[in-house]
Structure 1
Amino acid sequence: MDELVYGLYIIAVALFIYGLMGLTQPRTAVRGNKIAAAGMALAVVATLIEIRATSNWTLIIAGLVVGVALGIPPALRTKMTAIPQLVALFNGVGGGTVALIAWAEFLETDRFTGLDPAHGLVVPVVVASLLASIIGSISFWGSVVAFSKLQGLLPGRPISLGRLQQPVNILVLLAAVAVAVVIGVGAASTGVNPWWFPVILVVSGVLGLMVVLPIGGADMPVVISLLNALTGLSAAAAGLALNNVAMMVAGMIVGASGSILTKLMANAMNRSIPAIVAGGFGGGAAASQESTGDRTVRSTSAADVAIQLAYANQVIVVPGYGLAVAQAQLAVKDVAKLLESRGVEVKYAIHPVAGRMPGHMNVLLAEADVSYDAMKDMDDINGEFARTDVAMVIGANDVTNPAARTDPNSPIHGMPVLNVDEAKSVIVLKRSMSSGFAGIENQLFYEPQTSMLFGDAKKSVSDVMEQLKAL
């Protein structure tokens, strides 16, 4: 029977890896997700076979029913604009579940167990449980804060203790390590003391809150990716404690891929991961009209925009979170389709951190059946702006700010941005002159070739569509 179980685990792991490979491209993402889900289903079946003789089937079935009841309805009903919140919430549930599993396994353990001690490869269950509980608890409470900020339950601005923030975080971390050492030493000498474990869950939870609260909205995409990596690492540690191969490998895959993605996104913002974790950047505060000085903001109309688009050779659409909020992706696709029927080439410029989670804009555009070939990454599209007639920015802000290249005093200086200001004409669709997540003015709005079309993005795009039809 062991051979059957491990054989199923190997197949499940292969499906995890193959599914993850599919997630690297929008065209194959759906298929990759289904393949990985099939692998997870197979891993669950293998685990049930492995524990068949010692299982409380009533609790297992009840857990499956509750999980399905709580998981499927939100996934079906959540709007595309709220997907980042859903990802943060589901990720937090995963981390919290791992912490509780580690607690349960800890209570079942009264000695160190592992591989053959003669080979020096002892794997203490207590140590693995402690790691899983600490990381899982941090991930859970950090994800709760991320969800609350994205949902508007908490302010998007940094919430910190100022200069005391980092010293307090370090003290809380040291407290978590100290409690873990006390538990580990006590378990090795006098046996497991069940009363200490809730303490480490509480201390780790406080650390998760203290780390994410000072992080502003500008860094939220990176935070979601980082918390996802932490959940994967906690799952790997819990798998080590449970001696479950599928859980170990799946956790390591999620932890590794999440870590790589976090690093790539941090690079895309020209910020280090320690600087992001330190927080204090990205308040999302509105910029006042008075702060514009003598600079001129040029307003335009749907009719003028339609004329510019109709007589362009190439148009680049730059989507941002404002497009998601207005749910304007279908209207944008309709405009693009009409332009393409008139011989205008339409492309979409995707910044790595546009929106509120990795790949947010790709998901939105894919929902509107935008061709994957038309979606261009920043590195591939930046050279195109100089020969583009019209760049239409819909809800994007910080990722189009030329101050990142030209102003050494700007907080985002050095951050790679889309070279929208190089286009012959720039049209920005926004409700107001408010700033983006970084809380700073966008220099692009005052460039001589930029015109602002104020209003709800979906309505503005629909008005442009009507004007195009009339030409």
Structure 2
Amino acid sequence: MKNIVQASYFISAILFIMGLKMLSSPTTARKGNLLAGLGMIMAIAFTFLIPGMKHHLLMIVVIIIGTAIGWVSAKKVPLTDMPQMVALFNGMGGGAAAVISYLELSRGEIVSGLRLLAILGGLIGSISFSGSIGAFMKLQRLIGDRPITYSLQKPFHAFLLLLSLSLGYFVFIDYTLSLPVIMNILIFFFVVPLLLGFLITLPIGGADMPVVIALFNAATGLAVGFDGFAIGNQAMMVSGVIVGASGSLLTYLMAKAMNRSIANVFFGAFGKLSEHEVVKEMKAREVEDASIMLGFARKVIVVPGYGLAVAQAQHKLMEFMDVLEDKDVEVKFAIHPVAGRMPGHMNVLLAEANIPYDKLYDLEEINPEFSTADVALVVGANDVVNPAAETDPSSPLYGMPILKAYQSKNVLVIKRGRGKGFAGIENDLFFMDQTYMVFGDAQDVLGKLVQAIKKI
């Protein structure tokens, strides 16, 4: 029977890998999700056949509860709240890994080599769990999405990390103490990383959440992988390694897109703000004037940002695209890798509105086309189109790859107000001669633009 279970785990691992590969293309992503889900169902089902496995009824009950919560959440949560959901689900994975580590270590029967893996799984899983909860609270604005700092923050974080490692080392080398002492040490070993994970998320702003979510995703994968080796579960080994590797690569790519290191995201925030000031005034345009500019254009490039998600204006953007294409206007969408609050946020948002994926272009593809565009329409984006990233060495954005909307013949910016972006600096683009502001809620403005363009 044990061989059958191991064979099922091997097949599950193959399904995980195939599913991940299919996720690389929008046309096969749905099938990839289904394959990976099938692999997970198989792994769970055959776990019941492990010799000596007990409490089957309890396992079935918690599986039903977890499945129900996940299903209802996936059905009811709007795509605009998907970053919060991703953070929560990611945290649950880290928390599960931490619980497995605690149970294995508390038994006191695990050999030294595997004990080390269980300790690593518990440490990383605990940090990922509480850190993901902190990310969720920031994204949900329960504690605000701006950086939260306090005095001696970095030294205190370093102390907590050192204390966690020290407790883990003590658990690893000394298993001869009485059980109550070991249990107390274990409790502290898990409590301290939980505190650390939450606290290191506080100084991170909402705009850095794509990097943070990707990093905690990688951490959860590593924790699951370590636990898989510790308890000899092949499905956990493979799935953990896959998630850890893909999450690490995604974290690197997200940080690279912001021209920042992982350490800078977690410990540096945006540093000292630039003293650069713009002396020009923003030029406002009414919806009617903007509609004429768009309706008579030949090529329009749309740059969506987090403001689009906040306004839940993706469906209006789809209507906007349709009405322009009815007038033979070419419409393309420029996607910055870190726009929004999670990796691929804009891609998911626009896909939910049924905007064709072949109209979405990444930064390298679309930047050469801005100079040929009659209008660049910026909807809720700010820092990712700020020319200061290329022209002002004192700017906290300097060196970050941006979408070159400033090269377009005309730029229209839909913006709720005159506030600055996450970096806390003025956007030079908004003051350029060819740029015009259309102030208002993105959904409302796009709706008015659609009606006005239809009348042209």
Q: TM-score normalised to the size of structure 2?
A: 0.95
Separation of aligned partners in 1, 2:342 and 2:416: 22
Distance 1:378 1:335, change over 3 A: same
8 Å contact kept, 2:104–2:110: no
Aligned residue runs from structure 1 range 27-426, under 5 A: 27-51=27-51, 53-112=52-111, 124-162=113-151, 164-187=152-175, 189=176, 193-281=182-270, 294-426=279-411
Report the CA distance between 1:111 and its aligned residue.
Answer: 4.4
Q: Are positions 1:463 and 2:452 aligned together?
A: no
Separation of aligned partners in 1, 2:250 and 2:331: 28
Report the CA distance between 1:3 and its aligned residue.
Answer: 2.9
- Specify every segment of 5 or more residues in structure 2 that has no aligned partner in the other structure, as ranges: none
- Specify every segment of 5 or more residues in structure 1 that has no aligned partner in the other structure, as ranges: 113-122
Report the CA distance between 1:455 and its aligned residue.
Answer: 0.6
Separation of aligned partners in 2, 1:156 and 1:329: 22
More off after superposition, 191-200 vs 299-308: 191-200
8 Å contact kept, 2:278–2:428: no
Separation of aligned partners in 2, 1:322 and 1:397: 9
Separation of aligned partners in 2, 1:381 and 1:27: 21
Give the aligned partner of residue 115 of structure 1.
none
**2:238 partner SS:** helix
Separation of aligned partners in 1, 2:98 and 2:104: 10
Report the CA distance between 1:224 and its aligned residue.
Answer: 0.7
Separation of aligned partners in 1, 2:256 and 2:15: 30
Distance 1:431 1:177, change over 3 A: same
8 Å contact kept, 1:12–1:40: yes
Q: Are positions 1:4 and 2:26 aligned together?
A: no
Separation of aligned partners in 2, 1:397 and 1:424: 19
Separation of aligned partners in 1, 2:76 and 2:67: 14
Q: TM-score normalised to the size of structure 1?
A: 0.93
The CA deviation string for residues 412-442 of structure 1, in whole angstroms up to 9 with x for no partner, is 1000000000000000001101122222221
8 Å contact kept, 1:219–1:281: no
Separation of aligned partners in 2, 1:329 and 1:160: 34
Distance 1:103 1:194, change over 3 A: same
The CA deviation string for residues 281-301 of structure 1, in whole angstroms up to 9 with x for no partner, is 399x9x9xxx96631111111
Separation of aligned partners in 2, 1:203 and 1:140: 12
Report the CA distance between 1:276 and its aligned residue.
Answer: 1.1
8 Å contact kept, 1:26–1:362: no
8 Å contact kept, 1:219–1:282: no
The CA deviation string for residues 66-100 of structure 1, in whole angstroms up to 9 with x for no partner, is 21232222221111111101111111111111111
**1:196 partner SS:** helix
Separation of aligned partners in 1, 2:354 and 2:69: 29
8 Å contact kept, 1:314–1:346: yes
The CA deviation string for residues 385-436 of structure 1, in whole angstroms up to 9 with x for no partner, is 0111011010011111111011111101000000000000000001101122
Letter of the 2:20 counterpart: L
8 Å contact kept, 1:214–1:280: yes
8 Å contact kept, 1:158–1:282: no
